[in-house]
């Protein structure tokens, strides 16, 4: 009983500290373990970042410094399966902490790497729609690797728990792409998550194809319709409506970056979020004498006084923010997906 009670109490402690007492106590860590990637997606320039990458020992040090506070950790990149030690990292988190682990991947290396990450609680993969759409914005041949990965998982996992997809809505996305993703969701029993372009890349490529416009509103209306019909869309209803407001340019949600979630870069820097990774005043957990608490305290000093986020469309921060509205439907939808990782029947 204590193995489930303690994480629940820690989550409640962190939530109330971050939400009501303005103390940094992240529930969620977005941990980029590498910038390297075997794709060159049209809306992402992470592979262009040249920052150094932590060693296995340094990654474990970061985990040790954060485990007493955080509840969930997303292991991401780049493509995190490119790290030869990815299995050791996942196993270390699962054996030395009570954090839930989600591994984010483009599926290109899944079949050869799955045994390394089998211990992860959730697998989060990318799918942008039909083959022609997916390959055009990611990499030729990448769609077939996603299907290969889904077939592999269906025959090797022994359970359908903990499989989630991410689809980025952009200028090239059509309703037929969304229906295709939902068809795959029905076929392979995974939860489908959708978001607008998460950030604008330095190259400007993502701004050229973003869907913060009438096209995005049309796509989000379609998703709301499909969710009301019971399709396994993991965005809460409120999340999809907030994304519509963001697409209209309406700024309504409070930002809890540095309080309920934070971002750790590939070199160990504790940052406010994905969209603000390079502030010169951030602290690095690899440095002697830097604790997670001191790094979080620095975030409170850097964090803009303006509480509304100027443009984040990432699902997790929005869902954490909507929890503060105490909307029973929103909380219920989120717990059914991320608490149990299964389709709510």
Q: What pLDDT does residue 202 have?
A: 46
Give the number of other Cβ atoms within 10 Å of residue 156's Cβ: 11
Question: What is the residue range of 300's domain?
Answer: 2-339
**Domain for residue 344, yes or no?**
no
What total number of domains does the chain contain? 1
**Domain for residue 308, yes or no?**
yes
Rounded CA-CA distance 143/131 in Å is 5
Q: What pLDDT does residue 167 have?
A: 94
**Domain for residue 247, yes or no?**
yes
**Domain for residue 187, yes or no?**
yes
Closest alpha carbon to 252 in 333, 315, 312: 312
**Domain for residue 16, yes or no?**
yes
Q: What pLDDT does residue 69 have?
A: 84
CATH number at residue 136: 3.20.20.70
**Domain for residue 7, yes or no?**
yes
Q: What pLDDT does residue 180 have?
A: 98
**Domain for residue 345, yes or no?**
no
Which regions in the chain score pLDDT beneath 50?
1-6, 159-160, 200-204, 340-345
Q: What is the pLDDT of residues 218-258, one digit of tens each?
A: 999 999 999 999 999 988 888 888 888 877 877 666 667 77
CB 204 within 8 A of CB 176: no
Closest alpha carbon to 43 in 211, 210, 275: 210
Rounded CA-CA distance 95/76 in Å is 19
**What pTM did the predictor assign?**
0.85
Rounded CA-CA distance 23/318 in Å is 19
Q: What pLDDT does residue 47 have?
A: 82
Length of the chain: 345
**Domain for residue 130, yes or no?**
yes
Q: What pLDDT does residue 104 have?
A: 95
| Residue 125, H or E segment | strand 122-126
Rounded CA-CA distance 323/4 in Å is 21
């Amino acid at each position: 009983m204590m193995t489930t009670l303690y994480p629940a109490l820690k989550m409640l402690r962190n939530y109330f500290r971050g939400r009501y007492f303005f103390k940094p106590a992240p529930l969620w860590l977005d941990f980029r373990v590498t910038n390297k990637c075997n794709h060159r997606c049209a809306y992402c320039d992470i592979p262009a970042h040249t920052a150094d990458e932590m060693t296995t020992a340094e990654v474990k040090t970061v985990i040790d410094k954060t485990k007493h506070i955080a509840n969930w950790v997303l292991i991401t990149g780049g493509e995190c399966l490119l790290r030869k030690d990815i299995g050791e990292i996942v196993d270390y988190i699962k054996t030395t902490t009570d954090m839930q682990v989600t591994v984010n991947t483009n599926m290109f290396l899944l079949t050869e790497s799955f045994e390394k990450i089998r211990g992860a609680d959730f697998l989060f993969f990318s799918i942008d729609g039909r083959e022609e759409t997916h390959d055009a914005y990611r990499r030729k041949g990448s769609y077939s690797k996603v299907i290969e990965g889904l077939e592999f998982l269906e025959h090797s996992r022994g359970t359908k728990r903990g499989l989630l997809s991410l689809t980025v809505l952009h200028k090239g996305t059509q309703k037929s792409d969304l229906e295709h993703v939902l068809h795959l969701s029905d076929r392979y029993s995974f939860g489908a998550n959708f978001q607008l372009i998460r950030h604008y890349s330095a190259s400007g490529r993502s701004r050229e194809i973003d869907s913060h416009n009438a096209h995005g509103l049309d796509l989000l209306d379609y998703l709301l319709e499909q969710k009301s019909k019971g399709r396994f869309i993991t965005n809460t209803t409120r999340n999809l409506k907030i994304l519509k407001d963001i697409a209209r340019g309406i700024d309504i949600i409070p930002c809890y970056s540095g309080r309920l979630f934070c971002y750790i870069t590939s070199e160990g820097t504790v940052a406010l979020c994905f969209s603000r990774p390079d502030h010169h005043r951030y602290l690095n957990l690899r440095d002697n004498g830097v604790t997670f608490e001191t790094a979080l305290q620095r975030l409170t000093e850097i964090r803009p006084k303006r509480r509304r986020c100027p443009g984040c469309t990432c699902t997790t921060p929005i869902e954490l923010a909507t929890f503060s509205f105490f909307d029973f439907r929103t909380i219920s939808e989120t717990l059914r997906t991320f608490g149990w990782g299964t389709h709510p029947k």
